[in-house]
């Protein structure tokens, strides 16, 4: 039993800070670093790569729509080619920053609206997968289980990682309950920890309706934007390890 | 006798076009491609790389200040670290785009105000040289002859290229006459062609005051923003070759 | 019989030029000036206001999505409040520039994807109408005939103007044929001129299927982005006047 | 004895927050609201205007260089015309937002590098003064005592306000000690309070070298970016009022 714990980091921008990366990174195994389009800037990217390296955390790219004002959360109707190009640009920029710091990128996880759209839309999924493969075929592509994104990644010969969300409610079909629905985000820490352990150990999740459904995942996303998120991430990791689950990054390891 | 002919290309942005790259590229040997901060966008970058590749032109990065509205021509007082990071980011982004198109970057030429400032300012020169070296130690760094930029490039172990300007007037000390001075830009095509041949063949230039001074250069910049610039570039190349000068890109060749 | 001829102008940005405003403005009566989010910048805005004033053309605001790279043509899923605020900001900025040049804004026409979305979506239409009314209740709001945008404008007590398109094909229900469909844009100049006269004189349009349907409009949009557009606009105006149609701007006039 | 207490507010942007405006506003009398170029966005601007209105605080514009990544703190070499246009644009945008909330702008204070440059540079000072006057001649223009900015404001017929800084060290000539110098920012709260009272009551300040020099000011800037800044502002106001100083905004009042 193995699981990766990932989190979105490096989301500060210029004079504005966001998140508590220094506290969060010790608890996780994969860092999704913003690439300057929805958050992050060249200086923040470098400092975040250094911080991840210092904690032995795998560094990945977190490309998003070009929308600082909307933090990449607003859907933008881009063409397939536009998405391929903007992902290539952002991942390439972070790859150079990482290279300058002696680090190789391990994974790519699209951000916000781009992630959500690409999980559903084959053309956008294909665009992200192609851009990722063009940079480095050993990169792991993250996406929702059963999504167009994972399918496109496999079609490009990439290793893919199915992602679960520690604090989100699930529908009967294993999809996420929309954030527009009350109860879609779970705030009770004990519950969040227990659900994560269940995902990692049993490959199942309790749905909003109360049934248990399969959810095969390789990585769990823990959120880092609230003050308590670092403590929660640490609690999740501790519980996983106490249950015998190996918490480690994906990609490039001997067993992977 | 060898010389490189370089030009700034890929300066369109979104729906706006600039320059006549298709006409210019057949005449030059090194393309300085804008990287999205002062001009260019991910799609323009890809199309420009393809176009350069199709014409056998060496591809280089043309990073600038983050200033679309000012086209990178306005001085921005950035710290050494800020400049290093923004150059690393931009060159990395273009390197990824080039890699996706099967092309390796050959050189780096800073754009506009960043180029001018770094030619004078050791800290900024060092920042650009470090960012360039961090990406690929075989990249050629462009700068004015005798500038801080070339010195910083050498200090980083980079091959450097001293650059002349086909259509600019020169001072007695081999520096460029400021654009603020009348006559700083030479418009007569025959004169521009003759001056370029003189630079390439004899390593000298006629100053604004009328004397002949040494100007050892490896590459000549020809401008591509006016309708006649492609024709002028072709005339320059033809004249150089008629005089027995080998016109070819710098870097990675067997004799370099 | 009266009609307004409007065109999108002031779409240059920084060092990039677009359109042929100097040639186009003599032929039109209302200028929709870009406000810096999808095109235009503070300097371009001022120069365009001056040019419109010099030609006696009514000045209006042309606010768009914050998307320079996409020229405001990409749909961005913004909230009602976000749209109200970004329209208020842009129209206010142009109003100040116009005021500094001794000109009062006469109308507001949303740009590109924002226009198209607001013609269909009541919440976005309401947002644009509220922002417009908050600035000046005498502003005329442009929109497609029968659209949510015009309805929202009326609900805010604004005068509204139904807009026709000189060079676009129409469906049986008076809506525009999607640009994705072949033949949606009409290129033959004689046809474009004749259709405009028919709209203005008879309040009808020939559909793509060949029938004649009613199309009550107050203003006709002529495009200004191609070299021939100024000539076409002049031909349209000449034909209208030859047919006895008064070509004049909307708003603030004694009969309006 | 009267003094205005001003502070920079509305410096959040999109998903990023900065400052503690809700806590700070009850203590101050003039709010300098960022206008979207160095900080702030249309939504933040509206919410900040509302908050200022709710606290009876005078609303002013805080225009800066177009530099979100540098927070308007980096010098950008713009032309006089560029500065006039970008100030006009920003103040106009905020004026519209304020108007929509039933508030009239009372003052203009340039931000960061723009403020510092315009205090020294007559052309930039003139640009800011002209843009301010073009919008509304009753606006009060803020600047350092004896600066080019105040002089330019007076030349445009504007009322001007000389500004002191509660927590900054002063040179013998009444200028600010550069931030690059150790001790340029005073952190001890009791000292900051006492210095502000001295400025307001006696029109003097103790210099870094220990002498007392004249400093005639109309408004004092209190910083709002640290958690303790709201408490400090409240302590400053309380001390001023305890000493019989009337703390009130400038402009439009009957006695002004």
- Which pLDDT tens digit goes with each residue over A60-86? 999 999 999 999 999 999 999 999 999
Tell me which chain A residues have a C-beta less than 8 angstroms from the C-beta of D15. 18, 39, 71, 73
Tell me which chain D residues have a C-beta less than 8 angstroms from the C-beta of C68. none
Q: What is chain A's length?
A: 256
**A71 to D14: CB separation less than 8 angstroms, yes or no:** yes
Chain C contact present for A180, CB below 8 A = no
| In a domain? residue B162 | yes
For residue C20, the model assigns a pLDDT of 93
Residues of chain B with pLDDT under 50: 253-256
Cβ atoms C79, C21 nearer than 8 A: no
Q: Is B77 left (phi over 0), alpha (psi -120 to 50) or beta?
A: beta
Chain C contact present for D85, CB below 8 A = yes
Sorted by sequence, the CB contacts under 8 Å of residue D37 that are 6+ apart come out as: D63, D64, D65, D66, D67, D68, D72, D86, D90
Q: Cα separation of A246 and B45, whole Å?
A: 43
Q: Is D174 left (phi over 0), alpha (psi -120 to 50) or beta?
A: left
Q: Cα separation of D25 and D12, whole Å?
A: 15
Residue contacts between C and D (CB atoms, under 8 Å):
79
| In a domain? residue B147 | yes
Q: Enter the tokens of residue A50.
A: 């250094």
Q: Cα separation of D58 and D106, whole Å?
A: 6
D229/B160: higher pLDDT: B160
Interface with chain D: mutation pick from A11, A16, A64, highest number of D CBs within 10 Å: A16
Chain A contact present for B189, CB below 8 A = no
Q: Is the pTM of this model over 0.80?
A: yes
Mean pLDDT of chain A: 95
For residue B179, the model assigns a pLDDT of 87
Subunits next to A (3 or more Cβ pairs <8 Å) are B, C, D
| In a domain? residue C253 | no
**C99 to D45: CB separation less than 8 angstroms, yes or no:** no
Q: Which residue of chain A is at minimal alpha-carbon distance from D69?
A: A14
Q: How many CB atoms lie within 10 A of CB A140?
A: 26
Tell me which chain A residues have a C-beta less than 8 angstroms from the C-beta of B82. 42-43
Q: Which residue of chain B is at minimal alpha-carbon distance from A81?
A: B43
**D89 to C95: CB separation less than 8 angstroms, yes or no:** no
Cβ atoms D18, D11 nearer than 8 A: yes
Q: Which helix (H) or strand (E) is C94 found in, with range?
A: helix C80-100
| In a domain? residue B224 | yes
Pairing of strands B107-108, B140-143: parallel
Chain A contact present for B134, CB below 8 A = yes
**D66 to B69: CB separation less than 8 angstroms, yes or no:** yes
For residue A252, the model assigns a pLDDT of 63
Distance from CA of A200 to the nearest CA of D (A): 32
Q: Enter the tokens of residue C48.
A: 């365009």
Q: pLDDT tens for residues D152-196?
A: 999 999 999 999 999 999 999 999 999 889 999 999 999 999 999
Q: Cα separation of A78 and C75, whole Å?
A: 8
Q: Cα separation of B250 and B219, whole Å?
A: 8
Q: Any idea which residue has 């540079």 for tokens?
A: D121
Interface with chain D: mutation pick from B74, B85, B114, highest number of D CBs within 10 Å: B74
Torsion C78-C80-C86-C91 (CA) sign: positive
Chain A contact present for C74, CB below 8 A = yes
Report residue A251's pLDDT band, with 50, 70 and 90 as the boundaries: confident
Q: Is the ipTM of this complex over 0.90?
A: yes
Nearest to A88 among B91, B97, B135 (CB): B97
Q: Cα separation of B65 and B113, whole Å?
A: 8
| In a domain? residue C255 | no
For residue D256, the model assigns a pLDDT of 38
For residue D252, the model assigns a pLDDT of 63
Chain B contact present for A236, CB below 8 A = no
| pLDDT above 80: residue D227 | no
Instruction: For residue C38, give the nearest of C17, C67, C61 by alpha carbon.
Output: C67
Partners of residue B124 on adjacent β-strands: none
Residues of chain C with pLDDT under 70: 252-256
SS3 (DSSP) at D90: helix
Cβ atoms C217, C198 nearer than 8 A: no
Distance from CA of A158 to the nearest CA of B (A): 16
Q: Which residue of chain C is at minimal alpha-carbon distance from A78?
A: C74
Structural domain tally of chain C? 1
Q: Any idea which residue has 């001890």 for tokens?
A: D188
Chain A contact present for C99, CB below 8 A = no
Q: Which residue of chain B is at minimal alpha-carbon distance from C15?
A: B71
Q: Cα separation of D165 and D219, whole Å?
A: 9
Q: Which residue of chain C is at minimal alpha-carbon distance from B19?
A: C16
Cβ atoms A218, A163 nearer than 8 A: yes
Interface with chain D: mutation pick from C34, C88, C108, highest number of D CBs within 10 Å: C88
Chain A contact present for D226, CB below 8 A = no
For residue D212, the model assigns a pLDDT of 97
Partners of residue A159 on adjacent β-strands: A140
Tell me how far CA of residue C249 lies from CA of B21, C30, C229, in angstroms. Answer: 41, 6, 19
| pLDDT above 70: residue D255 | no
Kindly report the three-state secondary structure assignment for every residue of chain B: CEEEEEEEECCCECCECCCCHHHHHHHCCEEEEECCCCCCCHHHHHHHHHHHHHCCCEEEEECCCCCCCCCCCCCECCCHHHHHHHHHHHHHHHHHHHHHCCCCCCEECCCHHHHHHHHHCHHHHHHHHHHHHHHCCCCEEEECCCCHHHHHHHHCCCEEEEEEECCECECCCCCECCCCCCCCECCCHHHHHHHHHHHHHHCEEECCCCCEEECCCCEEECCCCCCCHHHHHHHHHHHHHHCCCEECCCCCCCCC
Cβ atoms C18, C10 nearer than 8 A: no
Chain A contact present for D46, CB below 8 A = no
**B78 to D70: CB separation less than 8 angstroms, yes or no:** yes
Mean pLDDT of A12-21: 96
For residue A179, the model assigns a pLDDT of 87
| In a domain? residue D230 | yes
Sorted by sequence, the CB contacts under 8 Å of residue B208 that are 6+ apart come out as: B169, B170, B171, B177, B183
| In a domain? residue C156 | yes
Q: What is the CATH number of the domain that holds B209?
A: 3.20.20.370
DSSP A26: G
Q: Which structural domain, as residue segments, surrounds residue A153?
A: 2-247
| pLDDT above 50: residue D43 | yes
SS3 (DSSP) at D30: strand
| In a domain? residue D254 | no
């Amino acid at each position: 039993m193995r699981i990766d714990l990932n989190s979105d980091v490096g989301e500060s921008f210029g004079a504005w800070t966001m998140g508590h990366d220094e506290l969060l990174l010790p608890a996780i195994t994969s860092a999704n670093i913003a690439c300057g389009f929805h958050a992050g800037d060249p200086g923040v990217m470098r400092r975040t790569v250094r911080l991840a390296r210092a904690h032995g955390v795998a560094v990945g790219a977190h490309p998003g729509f070009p929308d600082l004002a909307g933090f990449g959360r607003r859907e933008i109707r881009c063409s397939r080619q536009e998405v391929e190009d903007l992902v290539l640009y952002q991942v390439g920029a972070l790859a150079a920053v990482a290279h300058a710091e002696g680090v190789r990128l391990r994974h790519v996880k699209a951000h916000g609206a781009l992630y959500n759209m690409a999980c559903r839309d084959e053309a956008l999924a294909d665009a992200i997968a192609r851009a990722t493969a063009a940079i480095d075929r050993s990169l792991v592509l993250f996406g929702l289980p059963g999504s167009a994104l994972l399918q496109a990644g496999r079609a490009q010969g990439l290793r893919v990682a199915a992602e679960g969300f520690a604090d989100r409610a699930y529908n009967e079909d294993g999809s996420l309950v929309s954030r527009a629905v009350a109860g879609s985000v779970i705030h009770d820490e004990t519950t969040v920890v227990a659900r994560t352990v269940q995902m990692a150990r049993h490959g199942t999740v309790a749905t909003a309706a109360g049934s248990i459904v399969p959810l095969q995942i390789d990585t769990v996303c823990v959120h880092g934007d609230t003050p308590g998120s670092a403590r929660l991430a640490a609690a999740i990791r501790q519980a996983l390890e106490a249950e015998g689950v190996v918490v480690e990054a994906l990609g490039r390891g001997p067993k992977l």
